[in-house]
Amino acid sequence: MDDRRIATGHLLAFVTILIWGTTFISTKILLTDFSPLEILFFRFIIGYITLLLVYPRRLKIRALNEELLFIAAGLCGVTLYFLLENIALTYTLASNVGVIVSIAPFFTAVLAHFFLEGERLHPQFFAGFVIAIIGIMLIGFNGSFLLKLNPIGDILAAFASIVWAAYSVLMRKISKLGYHTIGCTRRVFFYGLLFMIPALFLLEFNLVFDKLTILPNLFNLLYLGFGASALCFVSWNWTVGVLGAVKTSVYIYIVPVITIVAASLILQEKITEVALGGAFLTLVGLYISERKPNAILKEKIIVNK
């Protein structure tokens, strides 16, 4: 594969995670005036309209089994993941959610190993995973060494990481179908919004447009809709097609690192030495997980020589 294309994939994965790492803050701010479902619905409506304006052409699906992939991706990657994550934030600490959701690469690797060709597990992935999780836990503690567990919130966050792993595997399959990336993302958004409709009647949802006139609310919703949804889902889906589900998902390890830095700059939260150490371990874990087995073997041979 073209090295430039691979390098672009890594760059886009990092930029995507850079934006997604700040969404916890935007969501937490919006939760003061909006319910989790309201935030989810508004952001993906904005995202869908954006993608429709950018790519208005209709996506013609060739077969029913391909359509089922889009339906499953919309259910997992849009409706279930974000409902679970947003509801989890109302029950437990944002740091808890950030730590637990960051386990997604592990589940992605396991699912990819069984359902995707060419996505094999290797020992250094697990080594990197262990190091990254230790780092992520230290970030979650952030010096307090007291991870306040809330069974409901933390279980919901764990389920969110599992459904995101399923979404990554589904998008890898979709990427091989040869459809336009923006068109694919828009179709996934469509099914995600479709599956939200029953939830609109079951969970708290009110169309109170007065709240949208408050500038912080409007800014954060537009940020989630344009940036974190429309732009990032397109870049993430393209990157999954280039790098694979496992390699792309490993970048999720960086989410807590981005979150603590953003929280420090925006919310004036203190970053402790423990959190900085955790950030370093997380990046080391990412590096080890991303390394190819043959690359590590070559380094050992050179050292032995």
Task: Say what the pLDDT of residue 119 is.
Answer: 62
pLDDT (tens, 9 = 90+) of the chain, 305 residues, equals: 577 888 898 999 999 998 988 887 788 788 888 888 888 898 999 999 999 999 999 999 999 999 999 999 999 999 999 888 878 877 766 666 766 777 788 788 888 877 777 666 677 777 877 887 787 777 666 545 444 556 777 788 889 989 999 999 999 899 889 999 999 999 999 999 999 998 888 877 777 778 888 888 899 999 999 999 999 999 999 998 888 887 888 888 787 778 777 777 776 666 677 777 777 787 787 777 766 555 443 444 333 44
**Distance from the Cα of residue 281 to its chain's centroid:** 20
Q: For the chain, what percentages of helix, strand and coil (3-state, to nearest 5) are there? A: 80, 0, 20
What ranges in 80-150 are assigned the alpha helix state H? 81-91, 94-101, 104-115, 123-141
Domain boundaries, the chain: 3-304
Q: Are the beta carbons of 153 and 97 closer than 8 angstroms?
A: yes
DSSP conformational letter for 142:
T
Tokens 């005036």 belong to 33
> DSSP string of 150-161?
-HHHHHHHHHHH
State the sign of the Cα–Cα–Cα–Cα dihedral 159, 160, 162, 163: positive
As a whole number of angstroms, the distance between CA 254 and CA 285 comes to: 10
- Count how many Cα atoms sit within 13 Å of the Cα of residue 182 in the half-sphere of its side chain: 14
Task: Say what the pLDDT of residue 236 is.
Answer: 92
Tokens 């701010």 belong to 29
Task: Return the closest-CA partner of residue 99 out of 152, 158, 164.
Answer: 158
Helix axes 232-243, 3-20, angle to 10 degrees: 140
As a whole number of angstroms, the distance between CA 152 and CA 92 comes to: 8
Q: Report the amino acid identity of residue 280.
A: F
